[in-house]
Amino acid sequence: MDHPVATIIGFLETVHPYDTLPRDELARVATSFSRRDYGAGEEVYHAGEPLRGLYLIKRGSVEVQEPSGQVISLLGPRNSFGERGLARDGLAVTTARVTEDSVLLLLPVPEFRWLIATYPAFERFFSRGRGHDTRGGDLTTQKVGDLMARKPVIIGPQDSVRLAAQKMRDARVSSLGVVEDGQFLGIVTTRDMTHRVLADGLDPSTRVAEVMTPDPISLRPESLGSDILHIMLEHRIGHLPVVEGTALVGMITQTDLTRFQAVSSAQLVRDAATADSVAEMAAVTARIPRLLLQLMGGHNAHEVVTRLITDIADTVTRRLLAMAEAQLGPAPVPYLWLACGSQGRQEQTGVSDQDNCLMIDDSATDADMAYFQALARIVSDGLDACGYVYCPGDMMATNPQWCQRVGVWRSYFRRWVQTPDPMAQMLSSVMFDLRPIGGQASLFKDLQHETLELASRNSIFVAHMISNSLKHTPPLGLLRGFATVRSGEHKNHIDMKLNGVVPVVDLGRIYALIGQLEPVNTRARLEAAEGAGVISLSGARDLIEAYDLIAQTRLENQARLVRSGRKPDNFLAPSDMSDFERSHLRDAFVVVRTMQSAVGQSRGARS
């Protein structure tokens, strides 16, 4: 029996990446789905069989197994499966079986492949090639060092079991490493407290050494997740110390494994899209640092990691827009919410503020504008509560200057291009990074084409933009060293944002302006500039490789901070790198500086 189309549309609006489709396209795709009902234990398909299409779970749960019979995932509502076979020869590479009465929606093969070929969001989401987060989501191939959630909490062997219990309570952990003079001796768990202390009526002053498990089974950081699973299952234990030499460097628990398997970009997007409150969404975004750690542990490319993280911010924004409309009533006229900055470029990392604006149909009255100011406040406050803090420069839709009718925005863009003073240059940089997030995308499309053409024809404006882009320089010091922050909290660190990725972001924006290129993402801009002949083939290849190294190093450093229990930031200490890493990073900065020099010379030629 087919599902009513209206019901499918309502469901797809809560499922990523279908929630990115234009409304009319979503309605068309919804008609392609058919309903399939399965009873508990029934097989959906078997490995090696031809697939009928992509399956989407509306209700129930599905167990996916490798041909060997090993269960690799347990899927719930809004999860898709079968895409791996469709991306190859159309044959199932796994076996899928429902574990309870379930309702599945089936998207035919031709429609699935058309969506992949037409919409980048679908290609990214369902790709199984380089960089999709399912690779990082394979627990068995992850290194143990990338699975550790925090620094281990330790206690001395001569300390009392009362102190041990207090430490476990205060740190909210179920085990402690027993360490003396830096040497790992054993482990004490909540189970030990129950079975060896309370059950035997021991005094709270009893020494930890008397109840701990000495010389427990342990792993090294370079061990694999499969080692954890095998040891835990074979020995029926729930805690595994991670040891390097004689030092305890981490603790892996069954909770860590559960947390790891529950964190994926798709899961976070789903949870954000279905959240009923800002608090629920904030709980979702609080898992982003863990997702970053997981994705980097899976050796995913930086541009994929940042896009997957940005997808979460996009979903949170759209959910907040829906909540605002539910509170205020339907919008009186069409509008468009746009992101700029790192979200606009789909380059968000583990630490991001918010940069956004509102474009409103020219038919809006003054009373209508009051509605949009209220909507902007609800969304911006919600983003802040979810960790996307208010923009220090007030580049937000809550600022009346950035909550305007399309006609006002058109006059802004024209004035900035025609009068390229320092403020106009800064605002123009923001303008070229705008990306529609929610609302009527057509309000911006014509304006984007018009502004790119107008700006690229104005040689004085282009020269000013080039000059402005050269203000951010790579951190190159004398004698093959680095120019680091000179004072303050981050003294002797490299600012991997301001002096690392921003110089390349600025170059990408200039190339897009010169070539009238539409991509907003930096790496996509560099590739488009290469294809359009804006920069030479060799120059493009060198710059892309340099950017990849710089951006990847930035993310690896953020993951390292998360692993050590700290908040991710953009500051890297050269002393934390090997000579080999420092040399290659410096070479990458040299490439960026060389390309800046080339752009600067072209500016002179234009003058």
Q: For residue 605, name the pLDDT band (cuts at 50, 70, 90).
A: very low
Residue 190, H or E segment: helix 190-192
For residue 467, the one-letter residue type is S
CATH 3.30.460.10 occupies which residues in the chain? 264-415+431-451
Q: For residue 133, name the pLDDT band (cuts at 50, 70, 90).
A: very low
Distance, in Å, from the CA atom of 144 to the CA atom of 483, rounded to the nearest integer, reads 34
Task: Reply yes or no on whether the pLDDT at 106 is more than 70.
Answer: yes
Class of domain 264-415+431-451: alpha beta
345-395 pLDDT, tens digit each:
999 998 888 999 999 999 999 999 999 999 999 999 999 999 999 998 899
Q: What is the pLDDT of residue 135?
A: 39
Q: For residue 404, name the pLDDT band (cuts at 50, 70, 90).
A: very high
Residue 178 near residue 210, CB atoms below 8 Å: no
Q: For residue 65, name the pLDDT band (cuts at 50, 70, 90).
A: confident
20-58 pLDDT, tens digit each:
788 788 889 999 999 999 998 899 999 888 999 999 999
Residue 250 near residue 256, CB atoms below 8 Å: no
Residue 171 near residue 153, CB atoms below 8 Å: yes
Task: Reply yes or no on whether the pLDDT at 1 is more than 60.
Answer: no
Dihedral of CA 50/52/53/54: which sign? negative
**Which strands, in side-by-side order, build the sheet including 183-189?**
154-155, 175-180, 183-189, 213-214
- For residue 558, give both structure tokens: 């953020």
Distance, in Å, from the CA atom of 156 to the CA atom of 167, rounded to the nearest integer, reads 12
Q: How far apart are the first and last CA of the chain?
A: 69
Query: Residue 232 half-sphere exposure, CB side, CA atoms within 13 Å?
Result: 16
CATH 1.20.120 occupies which residues in the chain? 458-607
Q: Quick count: other Cβ atoms within 10 Å of Cβ 272?
A: 26
Task: Reply yes or no on whether the pLDDT at 131 is more than 60.
Answer: no
Task: Reply yes or no on whether the pLDDT at 132 is more than 50.
Answer: no
Task: Reply yes or no on whether the pLDDT at 136 is more than 50.
Answer: no
Q: Tokens 């008397």 identify what position?
A: 210
Distance, in Å, from the CA atom of 329 to the CA atom of 322, rounded to the nearest integer, reads 10
pLDDT over 70 percentage in the chain: 92
Task: Reply yes or no on whether the pLDDT at 2 is more than 50.
Answer: no
Q: 102, 109, 103, 98: which is closest to 51 by C-alpha?
A: 109
Give 127 or 437, the one with higher predicted confidence: 437
Rank 86-100, 396-410, 433-447 by mean pLDDT and report only the highest. Answer: 396-410
Distance, in Å, from the CA atom of 63 to the CA atom of 38, rounded to the nearest integer, reads 13
Check: CATH 3.40.50.300 for 144-259?
no
Average pLDDT along the chain: 87
Q: What is the pLDDT of residue 423?
A: 77
Dihedral of CA 535/537/542/546: which sign? positive
For residue 166, the one-letter residue type is Q
Q: Which fold has domain 458-607?
A: Four Helix Bundle (Hemerythrin (Met), subunit A) (1.20.120)
Q: What is the pLDDT of residue 45?
A: 94
CATH 3.10.580.10 occupies which residues in the chain? 144-259
Residue 283 near residue 248, CB atoms below 8 Å: no
Q: What is the average pLDDT across 262-282?
A: 83
Distance, in Å, from the CA atom of 311 to the CA atom of 323, rounded to the nearest integer, reads 18
- For residue 339, give both structure tokens: 């992101």
Residue 74 near residue 99, CB atoms below 8 Å: yes
Residue 119 near residue 20, CB atoms below 8 Å: yes
Give 554 or 141, the one with higher predicted confidence: 554
**Torsion angle, alpha carbons of 308, 310, 311, 315, to 10:** 150
pLDDT over 90 percentage in the chain: 50
CATH 2.60.120.10 occupies which residues in the chain? 1-124
What CA–CA distances, in Å, run from 65 to 261, 481, 518, 520? Answer: 15, 52, 42, 39
What is the architecture, at CATH level 2, of domain 1-124? Sandwich (2.60)
Phi, psi of 133 (to 5 degrees): -75, -5
